[in-house]
Amino acid sequence: MKVLVLNGPNLNMLGIREPALYGKGTYNDLVEFIRNVAKELDLDVDIFQSNSEGALVTAIQNAYEQFDGIVINAAAYTHTSVAILDALKAVGLPTAEVHLTDINSREQFRKLSYVSMYAQKTVCGKGFDGYRECLNWLKETAN
């Protein structure tokens, strides 16, 4: 089973950006964590990070008929991007949304998630473990 893991803007700054919120783990630590979980679950993963909305839309489009599911942390684009929502709808793959922090207990503007309007599963506020939960969910439901 092939899963595409997408990470949006500023997640490449993990470890540096607001460590009190996002923790001290770096983006490379997150990538290593995801790879280890994928190995445990016997999933084939591609991991892609971009600060650009268009690059994320293109990555979602390119997943069509190439992947069996998507795990996405669209970061700030979660709260703004109709384009990412439309791309997810267009390819129609099982999709799990993940956030390191609990977007529902932060600023008001983070409570709106366009990704949630398509994603069949959302995990937030569990740090790196949220990615594990999403990969596990995809394995259980989309296989």
99 is catalytic: yes
Who contacts 69 (Cβ-Cβ below 8 Å, separation ≥6)? 1, 3, 4, 93, 94, 95, 96, 138, 142
We find the least distance from the C-beta atom of residue 73 to ligand DQA, in angstroms, to be: 5
Answer for which of 15, 76, 120, 129 binds ligand DQA (CB under 6 A) is 76
For residues 102 to 141, the per-residue mask of contacts with ligand DQA, x marking binding by CB under 6 A and - elsewhere, is -x------x-------------------------------
Smaller CB distance to ligand DQA: residue 66 or 105? 105
3-state secondary structure at position 27: helix
Q: Is residue 95 involved in binding ligand DQA (CB under 6 A)?
A: no
Phi/psi of residue 118, each to 5°? -120, -40
Do residues 71 and 4 touch, judged by C-beta distance below 8 A? Answer: yes
Q: Annotated catalytic sites, by residue?
A: 22, 99
